[in-house]
Chains A and B, each alone.
Chain A
Amino acid sequence: MSCVKKFLCVSCPVGCSLSVTVEGAEVLSVEGNTCPLGEKYARSEVANPVRTFTSTVRVNGGLLPLCPTRSKTPLPLSKVFDVAREVAQLTVDAPIEIGATLIKNVCGTGSDIVASRSLPRKHRDSRELENSA
């Protein structure tokens, strides 16, 4: 028996409404997408929904107390809370370079947690900071 599942594609801001005909675990057809990303999203959504995960980690001695992070690649939606808990445990030392790997293969998802901004050490003198900007 085939059935139709409805998804809203989150691949880009257009947000197409997708109608996906599935039989068991097999995708028979995808309708409603306006670009190839929609078809890809629909197939992934049926097999194993994934999302890019973003959060922050605590920073010692940084100009800000937090550094934003992201998963380098999308990871399973079902693992998001596990990942959130693991990321929340982490504290790193400043300075941090954008793109630096902070956790490898987080929760066995195959994706790394990386820094999504550079964060310098806390300066004593604000003029030093302005000169570096």
Chain B
Amino acid sequence: MSAARQVDVAIIGAGPAGLAAGAAARNEGAERVVVFERDWEPGGILQQCIHPGFGLHTFGEELTGPEYAHRYLTRVREAGVEFSLNTMVFQMDKPVLKDGRKTVTFWTMQPERGIEQIEAKSLVLAMGCRERPAGALGVAGSRPSGVYTAGTAQRFVNMEGFMPGTKVVIMGTGDIGLIMARRMLLEGAEVVGVFEIMPWVSGLRRNIAQCLDDFGIPYYLNHSVCELRGRGRLEGVGVVEVGPDRQPIPGSDKFVTCDTLLLAVGLIPENELSRMAGIAIEPITGGPIVNEWMQTSEDCVFAAGNVVVVYDLVDFVSREGERAGKYAARYAMGRLENAKREFKIVPENNVRVVSPQTLTGEDDVTVYLRVGSPVESKCRLYAEPGLFSQRLRYARPGEMNEIKLSASQLKSLASDVTRITVGLEVL
């Protein structure tokens, strides 16, 4: 076996999180920062998201996905980040102690270089997420062609020049599905309707307004697609209304003719490599447990973006990517000391998703959280003991909320405090 290629900070994934991590790691002073990307170009899913709405926070104007990627790539190249494109990371070891410090080893596959072993002083996981597929839903009926995830259809229509079909039904109200409803319509397809099993919309409300309402596309809450019909090609779907228990209401089923079904039913952080490395995964988010340095359960491994928790805005992904890159660089340079304390953030009262899940209290931090069910009245977001309180006009699962905590606040907590509870109280 030939010697492993040495890298200071390795980053897996050249999407928005990986790009931000790369630039930040270089700017923090790390020497060899390499981003490994399986696609032929950096940018990740941004390249297929040709709609506007990106970058309001980061660049102060509304950009399309490719424009956001372009701007960010300029920054990244100026910072001196190396790219290894067309490169698949397929195997990763649990980090081991070597010369008194932890290092991580993984294997890549690339057309010209073949299989290569990489050894990194620190690593940023930035693999993003994937879409929940048809197989995960257990819809009855035949298995015809014409069933796609919304993101796959998006890549076909926006990058590869294929139209998935002519008469479309969309299952779920995730943002990608709503955006694809508009996109398919503008490309000449008929969009019959959007069916959501929950009593609320899971995407951003602005996407209901500008993707469905603008074009008169109907959507139905408390409805689910329960059957696929068709031999060879999809001929239609069975749709049923569901009760509060999400079980079908007898007699409410109807048949909807269509040749294409797009699924927008949720995103799952992509953590196969993280699991191989023995990283602790949080069951609710599906991503690694991280502290405010974006450090995982293995000291030398950091994580950022949708691999940790599915964000609603790319600007947040970039911000957390920068954080991961910065601390990964410090770790690689031997400048990140072990935390003296650890606070565990415990969600309660309708708060379901929290990231990060632990804090060292050494730095200012933004804690992201999502509620489990919508609250359409005045409510109060809080972090106890006595750290944060904010009144909100509403809280919806589709939109992330932020709690900002400062290091000085955390340092002033009594030494026996190890838990911080965050929750949402209806007023």
Contacts and interface: CB of A to CB of B under 8 A. Distances in A.
A, B assembled together: yes
Interface in A72-130: 77, 80-81, 84, 88, 98, 116-118, 126-127, 129-130
From A7, A13, A81, A126, name the one whose CB has the most chain B CB atoms within 10 angstroms. Answer: A13
B158 A56 contact: yes
Contacts of A126: 40, 86, 111
B67 A54 contact: no
Interface string B195-217: 00000000011101110011000
Given A15-B399, A130-B40, 4 more contacts: A66-B158, A70-B64, A81-B186, A98-B67
Contact of A9 (B112, B157, B206): B206
A66 B210 CA distance: 24
B62 interface: yes
Contacts of A52: 52, 62
B161 interface: yes
Interface of A: 7-10, 12-13, 15, 51-52, 54-56, 58, 64-66, 68-70, 77, 80-81, 84, 88, 98, 116-118, 126-127, 129-130, 133
B75 interface: no
4 closest Cβ pairs, A-B complex:
A117-B66, A68-B50, A65-B161, A8-B209
B208 A84 contact: no
Interface in B177-231: 186-188, 204-206, 208-210, 213-214
B86 A130 contact: yes
Nearest to B313: A13
B56 A15 contact: no
A85 to B, nearest CB: 9
A98 B205 contact: no
Interface in B106-141: 111-112
B62 to A, nearest CB: 7
A129 B40 contact: yes
Nearest to A59: B161
B83 A133 contact: yes
Interface string B387-418: 00000000000010000000000000000000
Given A58-B161, A64-B159, A116 B50 contact: yes
A118 B77 CA distance: 16
Contacts of B83: 130, 133
Interface of B: 40-42, 47, 50-53, 56, 62, 64, 66-67, 69-70, 83, 85-86, 111-112, 157-161, 186-188, 204-206, 208-210, 213-214, 312-313, 399
Contact of A51 (B85, B111, B214): B214
B210 A10 contact: yes
A54 B70 contact: no
Contacts, number: 91
Nearest to A52: B52
A51 B215 CA distance: 12
A68 B64 contact: yes
23 contacts: A8-B208, A10-B206, A10-B209, A12-B56, A13-B56, A13-B204, A13-B313, A15-B206, A51-B210, A51-B214, A54-B52, A58-B161, A64-B159, A65-B160, A68-B50, A68-B158, A69-B50, A70-B52, A80-B186, A81-B186, A98-B70, A116-B64, A117-B67
B160 to A, nearest CB: 7
A133 B50 contact: no
B377 to A, nearest CB: 13
B50 A56 contact: yes
From A65, A68, A127, name the one whose CB has the most chain B CB atoms within 10 angstroms. Answer: A68
Contacts of A10: 206, 209-210
A54 B210 contact: no
A65 B156 CA distance: 11
Nearest to A56: B158
Contact of B160 (A64, A70, A129): A64
Nearest to A129: B40
Nearest to A9: B206
Contact of B85 (A12, A13, A130): A130
Contacts of B85: 130, 133
Nearest to A68: B50
Given A10-B210, A13-B53, A56-B158, A133 B70 contact: no
A10 B399 CA distance: 14
B124 to A, nearest CB: 19
Contact of A54 (B40, B64, B69): B64
Contact of A116 (B66, B208, B399): B66
A96 B229 CA distance: 43
Nearest to B40: A129
Contact of B204 (A15, A54, A66, A69): A15
Contact of B206 (A8, A129, A133): A8
